[in-house]
A and B are shown apart, each in its own frame.
Chain A
Amino acid sequence: MTSVDQIVLNFVYPFVRFNNYFITGYFVLINTTYILMLLIAFKAIKKYSHHIQALEMKTLFLTPFAKPVSLLVPAYNEQTSVVESVKSLLQLQYPTFEIILINDGSSDNTLKNLINSFDLVKTKNVFRPQIHCQKIKGIYESSTYSNLIVVDKVNGGKADALNSGINISKYPLICSLDADSILESDVLIKVVRPFMEDHTTVAAGGSIRIANGCKIFNGRVIKIGLPKSILGKFQVMEYLRSFLAGRMAFSIINGLIIISGAFGIFKKDKVIEIGGYKKGSVGEDMELIMRLHAHLREKNEPYNITFVPDPVCWTEAPENLKVLGLQRKRWQRGLLESLLGNKRVFLNPRYGIIGLVAYPFFLIAEGFGPLIEVFGFILFFVTWYFGMVAYPLIYLFILATIVLNILLSIGSIIFEEMTYQRYPKTSMIIKLIGLSFIEVFLYRPLTVWYRLVGIFEYFTGKKGGWGKMVRKGF
């Protein structure tokens, strides 16, 4: 036996063996968790849909006690979609709300388009500077719509724009939205409901769906469709899984650590208590929720952060690789920033379910998941090189990956069918299920790669910002 053989026998084999166990263990653990989440979400969604049926929606719209809401819409170079978005928001059915659109130093015609479309007039309004934000150049009010305010400010990033919106807002609940968000008309009453039923609710999020392929008229989705591109369709499936299964399950155990910035509602005083959104943050939405959890657990204050599956916000998804890549890298940097910025929570029993379940899960599966997946891939080649491949197991592994992906996708579609049935044609459902067969080979590696780059960018200190999302407009 040569010395090389000895090294291989004594070091390489044990190393590879150990890591094979590690990868297999990771795979089993993560997928078992996903299946468990699917089961929890199934029960929760059923309960929620029953709850909604038992309410008299007509009286909910008339209730004078519905808490007033300030909708905060940060916009940066959104000239193509901003007017339509505001029109959509103005049509919301809700007793009392104001729309605060924050123009975060756009270099395009965002402000000009708004001034022309809504007869905006500059005011001398002062505001309560409760959270530090960049200089506000002007506050505009609409002569046509009394509940529309536009804030023009020096560029400071999305978190800073939201903070300035909080300062200007006058109502006790704030709702963060993206400038390209299109809300269904009854969303606010549904998403505010948890705040009325339970005063410990401090934040609630709704579902995000992809608007690409839908027919939109006058700021409303009038016909639901699927995106034309395969990339868009993959994202439809991905969003269904993420919102209907993932977030619903974590919400039930009060372990929800993400509420999408595209549509989330918060108790303003609690957000102010923790100093608002973290300036310069890439994933300001998740970062805020993490801090809210940590702060309220440290104060031993009873609270609830919830997900409401029914209210839907439609948003434009990237349909080209470049923009998708930018988005996913930004999300990954944001995720790591939120998690690693609150390290004290990790496996700390003081933070309950957040410290012991939600945080570790997100750190392992979402934060460093791409690293583990790529490592597994490299390990496969090493195993193959040293002739250690147990081929039946590899086939089994691939088969299990595909089957699990299909299982999770179908599970989410069942939730959708059981409750909201927003995709009207059977062919749409078949297409979505069909895509989950190939998703593992096409879409998954792509997102893993972007997320891996995101991890690299995070640790090498690449700064994020708004990103250059090229929007087609609706």
Chain B
Amino acid sequence: MDSPKNWEFDGFLKIGDSFLKLISEQVFFPFHKHFQEYPITTALIFSVFILIGITAFLLLYVIYLRLKIDRYQNLKVRKFVNWKKNILPLILDNVDISTFLKTFLKTIKKGDYEMFGEFITPYLNDTKGDSLERMIKILREIGVVKRERYHLKHSNSTWRRALAVRRLGAFKDSFSIEALVKALHDKDITVAVNAAGALLKMGDRQLLKTVISVLLRNKFITEELFAEALLKFERTLNLEIFLSQEIDRYPISSRFKIINLILQITRTESGPKLIIRLRNSKEAVGVILENEDLAEELLDEIILKYKNSEFIDLEKILSKKEKVYPVSSRIKMIDFIGYIRRVEGIPVLIDILKKSKNDEETISIIKALGNLEAAESAPLLVDHLESEHPVIRAQAAKALGVFKDEKAAKPISRLLEDRDWWCRYHAASSIHQMGEAGKICLQNFLKITKDPFAKGIITQFLSKPQ
């Protein structure tokens, strides 16, 4: 019988053999004979040895990595403690820059600047006023700002550019504006959104316009990222963010309500949080809140400023024809206006709602009008209860519920027997919000309806406290 040991040489491996022989002659000269005799076996042996080599290298690399990371972490802890103790007080105290620089250069080596950037950034985010300006001046002096600017302009790494943009935003470095505006057009959305955030942190009105315009033209930036960037514009938004997040359902136009609520809240658990947030603003809100006697007067002033502030531009943009901004961009703005409760936007939104033929835009406007508690839009919303689109019907019912207008109960109640579950749900929920009149309306409907789905949803809401 044939020896089975040479089974590797037959058939389809011939081409492979020739190739390997060629390689053995050219590359593995010392093993030439082995390759000639047992090419596959020798190749396999080589492969396994290469694998062993790679594995051994990776094993050493893991150990190296662990040691390196441990060392870096320990070093970081030590240095951060040291800098917190010796450097931070010097930055915050009114020590002149030359004295500071002497101590700084003694304590921090050039190789530590990257780590120092990491150390100082959170403090920059939490510091305002003179201390912040001083910190930034020092960072400029020691070249940290320049270093980040260099990375933004020249780094090929997306990550490093995104990080540089973030840090420059924290440094509020006005010399970097040009580079940051350029970064708004970066093909990586993290860099673009970070650049928008960085520019908006500087609080410049002109920059806001530029940011909005560039971000809206970038189809890869979702409305969530758009809003995330815009909310970094602290100067006028602090109050609105607060009102939207902390005080639910209070229209911005009701000044006395706001004042009373803010004054009440400052005495409750949320108070410290609010005071910290408002104090961080360049506006004088923090001061106002600390002095209750002045509160009403000054808050009035702030609200007046706010009414005339930059975000009116959003409405101007919205008024333009669709050619300028596509529907997707318009939806981003509508969502944002609804979220920050720009009451000045109501007439514009109503006007667009009358003309809009796009379902997505219609839904977005109805949501925004609900958020804005725009009671004047009620007749138009009642018309939309008849829409063919179930989401429009449901959102119209939901928005009408916010106004708590008993007159809307009857048209809404028609949706209790709607074929769409959300329409039924929002109809019942809205009527339920109308207090005693709503309850009676639901009870009456329960008596006459034969629809089991309507019965179910009404029973659910009638069992809930109002």
Interface residues of A (CB under 8 A from B): 1, 5, 8-9, 13, 17, 20, 47, 50-51, 53-56, 58-60, 63-67, 123-126, 128, 130, 196-199, 386-388, 390, 392-393, 396, 399-400, 403-404, 406-407, 410-411, 413-414, 417-418, 421, 426, 429, 433
Interface residues of B (CB under 8 A from A): 1-2, 4-5, 7-8, 10, 41, 44-45, 47-48, 51-52, 54-55, 58-59, 61-62, 65-66, 69-70, 125, 157-159, 162-163, 166, 189-191, 194, 197, 220, 222-225, 227-228, 231-232, 241, 244-245, 339, 421-422, 425, 453, 456-457, 459-460, 463
Distance of B112 from chain A, by nearest CB (Å): 18
B58 interface neighbour in A47, A55, A124, A407, Cβ under 8 Å: A407
Assess whether B45 is in contact with A396, with CB atoms less than 8 Å apart: yes
Q: Chain A: which residue is nearest B162 at the CB level?
A: A54
A393 to B4, CA, bound (A): 13
Most buried by A among B7, B52, B59, B223: B7
A198 interface neighbour in B5, B69, B222, Cβ under 8 Å: B222
A66 to B59, CA, bound (A): 41
Assess whether B228 is in contact with A59, with CB atoms less than 8 Å apart: yes
Assess whether B244 is in contact with A64, with CB atoms less than 8 Å apart: yes
Distance of A45 from chain B, by nearest CB (Å): 13
A124 to B462, CA, bound (A): 9
16 contacts between A and B (CB under 8 A): A5-B1, A50-B162, A53-B159, A54-B163, A56-B166, A59-B197, A64-B244, A67-B224, A124-B463, A126-B457, A130-B421, A198-B222, A396-B44, A414-B61, A421-B69, A429-B66
- Name the A residues within 8 Å of B7 (CB-CB): 17, 20, 388, 390
B459 interface neighbour in A56, A126, A393, Cβ under 8 Å: A126
Distance of A406 from chain B, by nearest CB (Å): 5
Assess whether A410 is in contact with B460, with CB atoms less than 8 Å apart: no
B222 interface neighbour in A51, A199, A386, Cβ under 8 Å: A199
Q: Chain A: which residue is nearest B67 at the CB level?
A: A426
Assess whether A403 is in contact with B421, with CB atoms less than 8 Å apart: no
Assess whether B227 is in contact with A410, with CB atoms less than 8 Å apart: no
A8 to B244, CA, bound (A): 84
Known A65-B223, A65-B224; judge A54-B66 contact (CB<8 A). no
Assess whether B55 is in contact with A51, with CB atoms less than 8 Å apart: no
The 5 closest A-B pairs by CB, nearest first: A50-B159, A54-B162, A128-B421, A126-B456, A388-B4
Assess whether B460 is in contact with A126, with CB atoms less than 8 Å apart: yes
Assess whether A407 is in contact with B62, with CB atoms less than 8 Å apart: no
- Name the A residues within 8 Å of B65 (CB-CB): 414, 417-418
Distance of B332 from chain A, by nearest CB (Å): 10
Assess whether A403 is in contact with B48, with CB atoms less than 8 Å apart: yes
Assess whether A54 is in contact with B456, with CB atoms less than 8 Å apart: no
- Name the B residues within 8 Å of A59 (CB-CB): 197, 228, 231-232
Known A5-B1, A123-B463, A393-B41; judge A197-B228 contact (CB<8 A). no
A17 to B227, CA, bound (A): 65
Known A65-B227, A396-B44; judge A54-B55 contact (CB<8 A). no
A199 to B220, CA, bound (A): 9
Assess whether B51 is in contact with A404, with CB atoms less than 8 Å apart: yes
Assess whether A387 is in contact with B159, with CB atoms less than 8 Å apart: no
Distance of B58 from chain A, by nearest CB (Å): 5
Q: Chain B: which residue is nearest A139 at the CB level?
A: B460
Q: Chain A: which residue is nearest B48 at the CB level?
A: A400
A51 interface neighbour in B159, B224, B245, Cβ under 8 Å: B159
A198 to B463, CA, bound (A): 40
A54 interface neighbour in B159, B225, B421, Cβ under 8 Å: B159
- Name the B residues within 8 Å of A63 (CB-CB): 224, 227-228, 231
- Name the B residues within 8 Å of A20 (CB-CB): 7
Known A50-B158, A124-B463, A403-B55; judge A417-B245 contact (CB<8 A). no
Assess whether A197 is in contact with B222, with CB atoms less than 8 Å apart: yes
A130 to B390, CA, bound (A): 15
- Name the B residues within 8 Å of A411 (CB-CB): 58
Additional A-B contact list (8), CB under 8 Å, known A53-B159, A400-B51: A9-B1, A51-B162, A64-B244, A124-B460, A387-B4, A393-B41, A421-B69, A429-B66
- Name the B residues within 8 Å of A55 (CB-CB): 190
Assess whether B4 is in contact with A54, with CB atoms less than 8 Å apart: no
A47 to B157, CA, bound (A): 10
Assess whether A197 is in contact with B225, with CB atoms less than 8 Å apart: yes
- Name the B residues within 8 Å of A17 (CB-CB): 4, 7, 10
A47 to B158, CA, bound (A): 9
Assess whether B41 is in contact with A406, with CB atoms less than 8 Å apart: no
- Name the B residues within 8 Å of A387 (CB-CB): 4
Assess whether B44 is in contact with A393, with CB atoms less than 8 Å apart: yes
A266 to B190, CA, bound (A): 23
- Name the B residues within 8 Å of A433 (CB-CB): 59, 62
- Name the B residues within 8 Å of A418 (CB-CB): 65
Q: Chain B: which residue is nearest A424 at the CB level?
A: B70
Assess whether B228 is in contact with A65, with CB atoms less than 8 Å apart: yes
Known A54-B159, A64-B339, A196-B224; judge A406-B55 contact (CB<8 A). yes
A390 to B5, CA, bound (A): 6
Assess whether A403 is in contact with B232, with CB atoms less than 8 Å apart: no
Assess whether B224 is in contact with A426, with CB atoms less than 8 Å apart: no
Distance of A268 from chain B, by nearest CB (Å): 12
Known A392-B41, A403-B52; judge A410-B222 contact (CB<8 A). no
Distance of A136 from chain B, by nearest CB (Å): 12
A137 to B319, CA, bound (A): 53
Distance of B133 from chain A, by nearest CB (Å): 21
- Name the A residues within 8 Å of B241 (CB-CB): 64
Distance of A10 from chain B, by nearest CB (Å): 11
Assess whether A410 is in contact with B55, with CB atoms less than 8 Å apart: yes
Distance of B363 from chain A, by nearest CB (Å): 13
Assess whether B460 is in contact with A125, with CB atoms less than 8 Å apart: yes
A400 to B10, CA, bound (A): 23
Known A5-B1, A51-B190, A65-B228; judge A414-B222 contact (CB<8 A). no
A66 to B224, CA, bound (A): 7
A386 to B7, CA, bound (A): 13
Distance of A355 from chain B, by nearest CB (Å): 27
Q: Chain A: which residue is nearest B455 at the CB level?
A: A126
Assess whether A53 is in contact with B58, with CB atoms less than 8 Å apart: no
A418 to B69, CA, bound (A): 9
A421 to B241, CA, bound (A): 36
- Name the A residues within 8 Å of B224 (CB-CB): 63, 65-67, 196-197
Distance of B276 from chain A, by nearest CB (Å): 13
A50 to B62, CA, bound (A): 20
A365 to B253, CA, bound (A): 65
A60 to B422, CA, bound (A): 30
Q: Chain A: which residue is nearest B57 at the CB level?
A: A410
Known A59-B232, A64-B244, A407-B51; judge A429-B41 contact (CB<8 A). no
- Name the B residues within 8 Å of A197 (CB-CB): 189, 222, 224-225
- Name the A residues within 8 Å of B194 (CB-CB): 54
- Name the B residues within 8 Å of A421 (CB-CB): 69
Distance of B449 from chain A, by nearest CB (Å): 14
Q: Chain A: which residue is nearest B190 at the CB level?
A: A54
- Name the A residues within 8 Å of B69 (CB-CB): 417, 421
Assess whether B45 is in contact with A124, with CB atoms less than 8 Å apart: no
Q: Chain A: which residue is nearest B191 at the CB level?
A: A54
Distance of A390 from chain B, by nearest CB (Å): 6
Assess whether A128 is in contact with B58, with CB atoms less than 8 Å apart: no
A291 to B282, CA, bound (A): 53
Assess whether A13 is in contact with B4, with CB atoms less than 8 Å apart: yes
Distance of A252 from chain B, by nearest CB (Å): 16
Q: Chain B: which residue is nearest A199 at the CB level?
A: B222
Distance of A428 from chain B, by nearest CB (Å): 10
